[in-house]
Amino acid sequence: MTTDSLRPLVDIFKVLAHPVRLRILALLRGGELCVCEVAGVLGLAPSTVSEHLTALRRTGLVREWKVGRWVHVALSDADTARPVLESLWPLMAVAEAELAGDLIQAEARRCEACGPSGCSILTSART
């Protein structure tokens, strides 16, 4: 018996087994975000967030696209991702308070001006 047909599901469960990735998914449930916004809310370097997003993208749970030089991300609307994400939300209710705090921070950090001089969030964090 071969388990090749189970490989995509195994990969999804591996990706979901990290608290930062679960927080990212919860953040994206509130709508699309720039990677700089995700990094700001989580208090992580953009390169670290990018690594986590790459893992989520490989499993098809998130999608990303560029707006100028900036990368935006959102939950995938693919038929394969929807059931996984919908089953995840009730399970994450145990961390509702922390995740709600992340959403409030994300809304406060909405980056309207990821312009040519750089993301205003990252620029202000450096000064």
Identify the CATH number of the domain in which residue 94 sits. 1.10.10.10
- pLDDT of the residue at 23: 96
- Residues of the chain short of pLDDT 70, as ranges, are 1-2, 111-127
- pLDDT of the residue at 126: 36
- List CB contacts of 100: < 8 A, sequence separation 6 or more: none
- pLDDT of the residue at 53: 97
The residue type found at 104 is I
Hey, what are 118's tokens? Answer: 């750089």
Look at the chain and report how many structural domains it folds into: 1
- The CA distance from 40 to 113, in Å, is 15
Euclidean distance between the first and the last CA atom of the chain, given in angstroms as a whole number: 59
- Range(s) of the domain holding residue 103: 4-126
The residue type found at 107 is E
Query: How confident is the prediction for the chain on average, in pLDDT?
Result: 86
- pLDDT of the residue at 68: 86
- The CA distance from 117 to 37, in Å, is 16
- pLDDT of the residue at 119: 55
- The CA distance from 125 to 11, in Å, is 35
- pLDDT of the residue at 89: 95
- pLDDT of the residue at 5: 87
